[in-house]
């Protein structure tokens, strides 16, 4: 019994698609060997059946010996029984090999995604990752699946060739030479098929990415009337992908046709030669029947061999995409010699902007350009690109610390944060020990929970799409609060809620985070008034620091940003002067 997922998927060799596939095979060599063993027994049993039938005809039917006929019938029954058992076991091993490969790919890519963090969406599109999880893992699994049958095909080919050589040297040589020639006839198609398949996979990834963007922004598109524009874009890309798929299908159809035509032609040649020998009296009628059986059987290993080549091509295309993801390196690498951990309760300082987030206080950041404050939040969490050493915790650059420690001590919750599908309680309590009820109360999200029949056991739809924008924002805030990190950075946590809800959140946030460092980017007077300190960011620098009330009285620029004031319009006479 195999337990999935695996305890540890291993460290993949991803320098090339071939090495990756070979490494994958090495990781599950025991089940692969088992599948190959039963595949050899299963197909070899089929290979010797024509010989047994031929002997039964010659020694039983032609000789009119009932006892010998019964003996050979018993042998045939025994071989059939062995074949049936071996076939069942081969199939079990094939399914096991497929599942092991698929789960290993999922675990490798998931582990790499966690390792890359914010680097992943900047280097790889969503569609690429989706394609790995929906199609590529299947192609890798199929390579492992077909390997057992391919091993049986190779061995059974030599078994049949050996039997034919003992009966007729000519027929034996026809098989030994003819089969490789048939494979060479298919070879010219394999290269172009691989190139076209790779191009199609690339287009499918782009199409998946476009579909994901449209679904994610459908509400916005409807609001601005952009549905038709993006629908047209998707239609054009889908037609391009369809055209590429047709090009792949053309070669695939030729390959499939050759899989039937070439073995069929080969069978005709072998039967024709065998029939001539039978007429000449060189071979017996039983041997002629056996030759026909061998010819019909040889179609199986021949088709298996071409199927193996086809699936290896698809597997290499899939492995190329997987290797591309596994080869990525996070923009924040763990230092070889990490600095000592800063003491708990240290100030968080960004030298570039001049921001100082005092330990244990709620600091708000205001900027006329929201992108500036959002960029600052990314810098504080070491998720911006590129990463520098100007953000320091207790005087120690974040780049000098282990990234795992930075992630544990500093949590950034931005407006793009989403929910995974699954149980709501699990999505809110990521640490497994958070005070979810208190976090929901602070985020003014208790009404959301009350409206759900199953409460925290409610199953959340993908990306939390069953909730409104304001509900999702409050639940995301509750999730961040439940983690209760040493330093919490919130980006516009109340931008999608009404004023009454925003007032409740602002009033409760400071008390909830008492004794913990909190940075909030917002231009809402309700949030700013609840902050211990407000930093006004202008042109990428902190130009003023104080309470909300103090900055309202001392900074006209701050007052203009917060109260949405506009400069007084000049009269015509003033303009003329």
Structure tokens at 523: 């231009």
Structure tokens at 149: 């049958």
Q: Which residues of the chain have pLDDT under 50?
A: 221, 566-577
pLDDT recorded at residue 292: 74
Q: Kindly report, as residue ranges, where domains of CATH 3.40.50.300 are found in the chain.
A: 348-572
Q: Kindly report, as residue ranges, where domains of CATH 1.20.1560.10 are found in the chain.
A: 17-115+123-326
Distance CA 322, CA 337 (A): 31
Helix (H) or strand (E) holding 350: strand 348-350
What is the residue-wise DSSP string for 440-469? HHHTT-HHHHHT-TTGGGPEEPGGGTTS-H
386: left (phi over 0), alpha (psi -120 to 50) or beta: beta
- Report residue 395: phi and psi, to 5°: 85, -5
For the domain spanning 348-572, the CATH number is 3.40.50.300
- pTM, whole model, 2 decimals? 0.69
For the chain, the first-to-last Cα distance in angstroms comes to: 91
Distance CA 136, CA 105 (A): 9
pLDDT recorded at residue 226: 57
Distance CA 203, CA 199 (A): 6
pLDDT recorded at residue 79: 92
Query: Could you say which architecture CATH assigns to the domain 17-115+123-326?
Result: Up-down Bundle (1.20)
Residue 69 has a CB neighbour count (10 Å cut-off) of 16
8: left (phi over 0), alpha (psi -120 to 50) or beta: beta
Asked if 473 contacts 495 with a C-beta cutoff of 8 angstroms, the reply is yes
């Amino acid at each position: 019994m195999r337990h999935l997922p695996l305890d540890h998927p291993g460290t993949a060799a991803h320098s090339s698609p071939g090495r990756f596939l070979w490494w994958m095979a090495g990781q599950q060599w025991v089940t692969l060997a088992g599948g190959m063993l039963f595949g050899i027994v299963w197909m070899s049993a089929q290979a010797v059946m024509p010989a047994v039938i031929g002997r039964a005809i010659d020694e039983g039917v032609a000789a009119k010996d009932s006892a010998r006929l019964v003996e050979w019938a018993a042998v045939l029954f025994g071989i059939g029984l062995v074949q049936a058992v071996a076939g069942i076991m081969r199939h079990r091993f094939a399914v096991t090999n497929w599942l092991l490969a698929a789960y290993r790919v999922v675990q490798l890519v998931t582990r790499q995604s966690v390792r890359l963090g914010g680097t992943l969406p900047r280097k790889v599109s969503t569609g690429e990752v989706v394609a790995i999880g929906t199609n590529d893992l299947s192609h890798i699994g199929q390579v492992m699946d077909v390997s057992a049958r391919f091993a049986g095909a190779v061995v059974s080919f030599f078994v049949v060739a050996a039997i034919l050589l003992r009966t007729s040297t000519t027929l034996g040589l026809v098989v030994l030479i003819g089969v490789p020639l048939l494979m060479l006839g298919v070879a010219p198609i394999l290269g172009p098929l691989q190139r076209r398949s790779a191009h199609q996979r690339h287009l499918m990834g782009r199409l998946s990415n476009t579909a994901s963007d449209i679904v994610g922004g459908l509400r916005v598109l409807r609001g601005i009337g952009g549905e038709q524009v993006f629908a047209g874009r998707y239609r054009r890309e889908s037609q391009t992908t369809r055209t590429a798929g047709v090009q792949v299908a053309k070669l695939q159809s030729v390959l499939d046709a050759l899989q039937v035509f070439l073995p069929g032609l080969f069978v005709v040649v072998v039967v024709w030669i065998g029939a001539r020998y039978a007429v000449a009296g060189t071979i017996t009628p039983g041997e002629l029947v056996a030759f026909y059986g061998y010819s019909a059987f040889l179609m199986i290993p021949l088709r298996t061999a071409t199927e193996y080549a086809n699936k290896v091509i698809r597997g290499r295309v899939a492995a190329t995409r997987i290797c591309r993801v596994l080869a990525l390196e996070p923009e924040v690498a763990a230092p070889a010699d990490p600095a000592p951990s800063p003491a708990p309760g240290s100030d968080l300082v960004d030298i570039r902007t001049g921001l100082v987030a005092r330990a244990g206080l709620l600091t708000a950041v205001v900027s006329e350009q929201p992108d500036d404050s959002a960029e600052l939040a990314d810098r504080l969490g070491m998720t911006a690109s590129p990463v520098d050493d100007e953000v320091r915790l207790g005087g120690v650059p974040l780049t000098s610390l282990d990234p795992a420690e930075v992630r544990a001590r500093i949590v950034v919750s931005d407006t793009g944060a989403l929910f995974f599908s699954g149980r709501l309680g699990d999505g809110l309590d990521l640490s497994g020990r958070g005070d979810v009820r208190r976090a929901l109360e602070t985020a003014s999200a208790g009404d959301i929970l009350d409206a759900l029949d199953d409460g925290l056991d409610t199953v959340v739809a993908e990306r939390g799409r069953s909730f409104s924008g304001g509900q999702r924002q409050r639940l995301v805030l509750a999730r961040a609060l439940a983690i209760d990190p040493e330093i919490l950075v919130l980006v516009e946590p109340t931008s999608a809620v009404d004023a009454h809800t925003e007032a409740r959140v602002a009033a409760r946030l400071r008390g909830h985070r008492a004794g913990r460092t909190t940075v909030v980017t917002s231009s809402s007077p309700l949030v700013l008034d609840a902050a211990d300190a407000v930093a006004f960011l202008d042109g990428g620098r902190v130009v003023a620091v104080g309470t909300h009330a103090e900055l309202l009285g001392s900074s006209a620029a701050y007052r203009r940003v917060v109260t949405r004031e506009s400069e007084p319009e000049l009269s015509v006479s003033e303009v003329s002067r």
